[in-house]
Chain A
Amino acid sequence: MIYPKKLSSKKGDLIFKIFLISSFVLGILLFIINKLTTPDIPWATLTNAGIIYIWITVFYSIKKNTNIAGHVLIQAIAISLLTIFIDYKLGFEKWSINIAIPIIIIIANITMLILTIVSYKKYIKYAIYQLIIVLFSMIPVILIGENILENKVLSIVASSISISNLILTLILSAKDVKEAVIRKFHI
């Protein structure tokens, strides 16, 4: 005999699918309850946005291949989108773009800075994510340019931290950044 008697098929996939379908059903259920009880307050949309955010996090977290800088980037983008959505649904007071996103950018940049300092030898792994975070951090600058923001101070601070962070990492690991860009963008 050259094969084991019982060859397994993937059961993990099935469990994953059950959870996915369950959250889909839960989403619809919440929506119906919302419509039947308090139709004037769209709380079900917000909870559903929360469910989507959780799934983005789960999908990304189970990819063991992804490094920590990748998680920082995906969380920064996902939470920003979530806050904009919540803000929009609650009447768009612009707290998301005035306060929440700049704070998210500051936290993401500080995390990247710590990563760079603690493990600059491994920086090549983080370089490309750092560059994307810097690009993402420029969104407040665009919003200032378009005169959309009311509270500009926090956004200026966030973008400045991001640029300083980039300059610092370039000083520390310019060669790695160049190498990472060549790898990631080869055609």
Chain B
Amino acid sequence: MKKKKENKLYWRRLDNSAKIFPIAGGKKYSTVFRLSAVLKEKIHPKILENAVNMALEQYPSFKVRMKAGFFWYYLEYNPKKSIVEKEKDYPCKYIEPGKNNNYLFKITYFENKINIDIFHSLTDGNSGNMFFREIIYNYLELLHKDELKEERTARKIVENDTEDSYMKNYDKKAKGNNSAKKAYRLKGKKIGLGGISVIHEIIDLKQLQEESKKYEATITQYMVAVLIYSIYKENYLKYNYKGNKPIKVCIPVNLKKYFPSKTMSNFFSYITLEAEMKRDNLDTFDKIIEFVKTDFKKRLQEEEIIKTMSANVKLGNNFMIKIVPLIIKKILVRLSYIEIRKYTTITYSNIGRIGIIGKYKDYIDYFLMLIAPEPVEKIKCSSCTFENKMVFTFTSILKDNSIEKRFYKFLTEKGILVKIESNGVLDDISEEIK
């Protein structure tokens, strides 16, 4: 009874990053990302449903729904049970609360695959991954009770909270470092009817590591360089771009690496690489990777990251912005959001290794991460690693998939083993590559 009363009274403010998403978001800008686990056996929906409800007990910060206040949205306890459905829609679509028992995440399954689509206001990729792993652990434990008996007793929930770590760690005196230059925007016809093309490039990790070592680059740096090279060849040159706008790659950064935080709310920032293709004559892969390494070094400095984060926090913290009623904020932000997005060509989010412990690994083939493309940023990229497989994913609303093809061709020509999986929206790519 007391717990029920406590639950009813539970609410929390949105963290500094999360505030913008429900105001700017909608069907066109879903701000949803997806994590998927491809298991080695077919999914049992009933067991999955139980696994999700168990995970919600373990991570109550996800058992919430969104409500509109007079000035800001906020999260409050959601008394309903979560829903598990068979996958039938495109990934990363706007989550309609009314059709999802008001949850801000959506669980779907197909054959051997479990998906979680998460609205970014709830959490970021890093914490979303923790919650998703919990669902997978619970699911496997329920399905293989005897085999995973020992693992189950040894496993512990990571200590967590929902503090706004931005507010705790931002530097009030730091000045912003955002570039005022607009980015080159990808050209080409759109798929239409709300279609999203998904192409996963499943890469042999060891071979990729060896190849990136040749350039003394990290895997992320190497992938960014291949991405810029593919955009340059297949979009920038192909559409005969005459302007001087740089190819700008936005890379989210997990701030938990820089500040101690146990939060399950958003706690990320980003760096934006600016490849001035014409000015710096970046016309070969070798030149591009050298540029990427140097720019990464410059922008990944703690000081720079704090500057970006602090500038964003200060904006959300501005008293004049705070006191504008939500309804007016919505109009203003939606008008300016399209303009803001013009400062990025593409986003690439690498959440790194998905750490699965013990015997659980034996039941999993690989993991996937996807982010929603937008009308302005027509392609988005993401990657994650499990065991010796790195899955690099393109989510796109463009009919032209030559960037994806060039990316694949480049890696395979270097002798790296790459397998393709797609959602079949642009069927020719999988056929051609296979």
Specify the chain B residue showing the minimal Cβ separation from A179.
B9
A124 touches B71 (CB 8 A): no
A91 at the interface (CB under 8 A from B): no
Q: Is A8's CB under 8 angstroms from B89's CB?
A: yes
Give complex CA distance A9, B91 in Å.
Answer: 11
A3 touches B322 (CB 8 A): no
Interface residue B72 (Cβ < 8 Å from any Cβ of A) = yes
B69 touches A9 (CB 8 A): no
Interface segment, one of B110-118, B121-129, B143-151, B378-386: B110-118
Residue among A3, A63, A124 having the largest count of chain B Cβ atoms under 10 Å: A3
* Cβ proximity bits B69-96 to A, threshold 8 Å, 1 near / 0 not: 1111010100000000011111000000
**SS class, residues of chain A in contact with chain B:** loop
CB-nearest residue of chain A to B319 = A187
Cβ–Cβ contact B102 & A2, under 8 A: no
- Complex interface: chain B residues within 8 A of A17 (CB): none
Encode contact with A along B192-205: 1 for CB under 8 Å, 0 otherwise. 01110010100000
Against B, the Cβ 8 Å flags (1 = close, 0 = not) of A1-26 are 11111011110000000000000000
Task: Let me know if B177 is at the binding interface, CB within 8 A.
Answer: no
B188 within 8 A of A: no
User: Whole-angstrom distance between the alpha carbons of A183 and B102 in the complex?
Assistant: 18
B interface, size bucket:
35 or more
List the count of A-B residue pairs having beta carbons below 8 Å apart: 67
What are the residues of chain A within 8 A of B113 when measuring CB–CB? 2
Task: Say yes or no: B90 contacts A9, CB within 8 Å.
Answer: yes
List the B side residues contacting A63 at CB < 8 Å: 98
Question: B71 to A3, Cβ gap below 8 A?
Answer: no
Residues of A within 8 A of B9 (CB): 124, 179
Separation of A4 and B102 alpha carbons in the complex (Å): 25
From known contacts A9-B193, A65-B102, A186-B72, infer whether A2 and B11 are also in contact, taking CB-CB under 8 Å.
no
A125 shortest CB reach to chain B, Å:
9
B198 contacts across to A, CB distance below 8 A: 3
Is B97 part of the contact surface with A, judged by Cβ < 8 Å? yes
Is there an interface contact between A7 and B193, defined as CB atoms closer than 8 Å? no
Contact A7 B74 (CB under 8 A): no
Chain A residues with Cβ under 8 A from B111's Cβ?
1-2
Residue of B86, B112, B195 touching A2 (CB-CB under 8 A): B112
> Which chain A residue has the least Cβ–Cβ distance from B9?
A179
Q: Which residues of A contact B97 (CB under 8 A)?
A: 64-65
Bound complex: CA A3 to CA B195 (Å): 14
A64 near B423 (CB under 8 angstroms)?
no
- B425 adjacent to A7 (CB under 8 Å): yes
Bound: A185/B98 CA distance, A? 24
User: In the complex the two chains form, is B67's CB within 8 Å of A64's CB?
Assistant: no
How far apart are the CA atoms of A62 and B71 in the complex, in Å?
Answer: 24
Q: Which residues of the other chain, A, contact B323 by a CB distance below 8 angstroms?
A: 187
Taking a contact as CB atoms under 8 Å apart, the answer to whether B70 and A3 are in contact is: no
Beta-carbon contact of A8 and B88 below 8 Å: yes
Contacts of B102 in A (CB 8 A): 65
Interface pair A4/B194, CB less than 8 Å apart? no
Nearest neighbor of B326 in chain A, beta-carbon distance: A184
CA gap between A65 and B112 in the complex, in Å: 32
CA distance A63 to B11 in the complex (A): 21
Q: Are B193 and A5 interface neighbours, CB within 8 A?
A: no
Interface residue from B13, B72, B423 paired with A7 (Cβ < 8 Å): B423
Q: Establish whether residues A183 and B76, one from each chain, have CB atoms under 8 Å apart when the complex forms.
A: yes
Q: How far is the CB of B95 from chain A (nearest CB, A)?
A: 12
With A2-B421, A7-B89, A7-B425 in contact, is A187–B98 under 8 Å at CB? no
Q: Given that A2-B113, A124-B8 are known contacts, is A183 also in contact with B90, CB under 8 Å in the complex?
A: no
Is residue B418 within 8 Å, beta carbon to beta carbon, of the partner chain?
Answer: no
**Residues from 135 to 175 in A contacting B, C-beta threshold 8 Å:** none
Q: How far is the CA of A169 from the CA of B431 in the complex (A)?
A: 67
Cβ of B352 under 8 Å from chain A: no
Bound-state CA distance A124–B10 (Å) is: 11
When the two chains form their complex, are residues B193 and A3 in contact, meaning their CB atoms are under 8 A apart?
Answer: no
Q: How far is the CA of A7 from the CA of B113 in the complex (A)?
A: 15
Chain B residues with Cβ below 8 Å from A8 are 88-89
Q: Is B415 an interface residue (CB 8 A)?
A: no
Question: B38: which A residues are within 8 A, CB to CB?
Answer: 2
Q: Is the CB of B424 within 8 A of A3?
A: yes
Complex Cα–Cα for A183 and B74 (A): 8
Residues from chain A with a CB closer than 8 A to the CB of B67 are: 183
Per-position binary interface string of chain B over residues 180-217, scored 1 when its CB falls under 8 Å from any chain A CB and 0 otherwise: 00000000000001110010100000000000000000
**B residues adjacent to A (C-beta < 8 A):** 8-9, 11, 13, 36, 38, 65, 67, 69-72, 74, 76, 86-90, 97-99, 102, 110-113, 193-195, 198, 200, 322-323, 368, 421-425
- Spell out A's residues near B (CB within 8 Å): 1-5, 7-10, 62-65, 124, 179, 183-187
Pairs A–B under 8 Å by Cβ, sample size 20: A1-B111, A2-B38, A2-B112, A2-B113, A2-B368, A2-B421, A3-B198, A3-B424, A4-B86, A4-B87, A7-B90, A9-B194, A62-B98, A63-B98, A64-B98, A65-B102, A124-B8, A179-B9, A183-B11, A186-B69
